[in-house]
Amino acid sequence: MELCNRLEYLEYAAVASNPNPTLETLKSDNGIAVVLGDLKPGDGFRTIAEQIRDQHPDIPFIRLNTGSTATGPDANWSLDVPLRRSQLDRLMRRAERYHGTERRHRLTGSSASIRRVRASIDQVADFDTNVLVTGPSGTGKELVARTIHDLSERADQPFVPINCGAIPAELLESELFGHEKGAFTGAVNDRTGRFELAEGGTLFLDEIGDMSLDMQVKLLRVLQERSFEKVGSNKTQRCNVRIVAATHRDLRKMVEEGEFREDLFYRLNVYPIEMPPLLKRASDLPQLIGELFTRYSGTGEAELRVSQEAMQVLASYQWPGNVRELGNLVERLAIIKPEGTIEVSDLPPKYLADENRVSGQPNVVSEAMQLTCDNLKEHLSSVERELIGQAMAATNGVVAKAARLLSMRRTTLVEKLGKYQLN
Ligand SMILES: Nc1ncnc2c1ncn2[C@@H]1O[C@H](COP(=O)(O)OP(=O)(O)OP(=O)(O)O)[C@@H](O)[C@H]1O
Ligand SMILES: [Mg+2]
């Protein structure tokens, strides 16, 4: 096929997938572009695309588009047939950049759920698509927004955050759009708004669920028309700003209850990213603790050692404050035990209180159980990977001990560590 030749000539691995690509084919492939054949709705394209995204988050996939126009986020990565050289080249350059992004990611963790978040970020970063990040507080929503910006073509332009919940409703309009001198009592000077400050870059609308209905109308207009007026001015200004919004609230429910405009919700929710609570990704704890400790200590040299038992206590704690709470704990532990190993007795009592704990030790398994996947094999491997990751963390990477924990032969575990790239 002409396309495969062309791609291979460019040193991109091509998996032209009509019929479906098997995951085995992909595994043996370490190229950087994946081309999917044109699959009609109902052919399981979504499932395949999601399998690839889950198992190979570092490989972008490109969909061949032979007739019907692709829609949704995947449209950004579709290649029209017959081929147009310019489009192919553009996609390839983008694929190359995508491949080089892994190291610039700031989200720590290797649980299935966090890998999925990273893959979503990679998939959407390069486009001006609006993104809505949801999830409980402290789960990393702002970090996601910054990462999207950093990985986008707008990275050299400003990233401007604004917390819509923290600014009184009557001041928010002038914060966002700016005002002219004399526009209202107290407006003694001209003021530049955040939209203007973010020109060419990304505007992060944090706590969007707290925006008043009045302001929602005004924001919607800007998103539709890509222009706005300063308060007190009738001069319309064009704007080129990418919007990432975040909230810990359930906007869908707010829409049903008439507290959030449905049209604005759809505008913002073009590409949703949902942050999983820390409780559902307990296997990320050791890595996160390492990362947060490095951040506080400012050096990469020292490390915070946590005993197996203490790690287990942390793994079955509820984490209502998620990663932010973990950060506070790490900061505190680093002060009380700058050297030596953190034991259960070093943990503040609330981490041991029954009412704050998940019963039994179901964390990791329950995460896997909640994955919506239609593929049993994939499901089982992800459970296996999670459990192995947790056993390795709990035994500080001592394979023989981890094998015993898992009731598995050492050689089998070594093999699986290789397979899941956990070594
Ligand atoms: N996966 C992660 N890797 C490293 N650091 C993280 C990760 N997730 C969150 N953090 C850190 O945890 C803290 C809280 O993250 P962030 O402010 O992005 O959360 P949030 O969801 O916006 O919280 P809130 O809803 O309370 O505003 C930050 O210091 C952030 O750097
Ligand atoms: Mg935040």
The whole-number pLDDT of residue 85 equals 66
CA angle 223, 225, 228 (to 5 degrees): 85
Name the one residue in this structure whose structure tokens are 């990432």. 244
Task: Examine the pLDDT at 22 and tell me if it is beyond 50.
Answer: no
Residues of the chain with pLDDT > 90: what percent?
Answer: 41
* Ligand located closest to 206 CA: 2
Per-residue pLDDT at 77 exceeds 80: no
**Reported CATH class of domain 126-274:** alpha beta
Are the CB atoms for 106 and 147 separated by under 8 Å?
Answer: yes
Tell me how far apart the alpha carbons of residues 389 and 402 are, in angstroms, rounded to a whole number. 9
- Residue ranges of the chain that CATH labels 3.40.50.300: 126-274
Phi, psi of 243 (to 5 degrees): -105, 125
Cβ contacts of 122 within 8 Å, gap of 6 or more = 57, 58, 60, 98, 101, 151
Tally of residues, the chain: 423
Average pLDDT over residues 404-415: 87
- Does ligand 1 have an atom closer than 6 angstroms to the CB of 16? no
Is 90 exceeded by the pLDDT of residue 54? no
Confidence of residue 420 (pLDDT cuts 50, 70, 90): confident
Q: 412: CA distance to ligand 2 center in Å?
A: 43
Cis, peptide link before residue 82, omega less than 30° from 0: yes
Confidence of residue 303 (pLDDT cuts 50, 70, 90): confident
- Domain at 2-100: CATH architecture: 3-Layer(aba) Sandwich (3.40)
The predicted structure's pLDDT at residue 189:
85
Supply the Cα-derived Rg of the chain in whole angstroms: 24
* Token pair in block for residue 229: 């007026």
User: Where exactly does CATH 3.40.50.2300 map onto the chain?
Assistant: 2-100
- The domain 278-419 having CATH identifier 1.10.8.60: the answer here is yes
Residue span(s) of the chain under CATH 1.10.8.60 come to 278-419
For residue 368, name the pLDDT band (cuts at 50, 70, 90): very low
Mean per-residue pLDDT of the chain = 80
Give residue 155's pLDDT: 86
Phi, psi dihedrals of residue 134, rounded to the nearest 5°: -120, 165
Q: Which of 324, 328, 329 to mutate to test the pocket of ligand 1 (most atoms within 8 A of CB)?
A: 324
Q: Is the CB of 105 under 6 A from ligand 1?
A: no
Higher pLDDT: 256 or 67? It is 256
pLDDT at 73 over 50: no
Sorting pLDDT into bands at 50, 70 and 90, what band is 34?
Answer: low
Instruction: Tell me, in angstroms, the distance from the centre of ligand 2 to residue 138's CA.
Output: 7
Q: What angle do CA 127, 137, 212 make, to 5 degrees?
A: 75
Per the structure block, which two tokens stand in for 298? 């400012």
The neighbourhood of ligand 2, an ion, using CB within 5 A, equals 142
pLDDT at 27: 39
**Whether residue 125 has pLDDT greater than 80:** yes
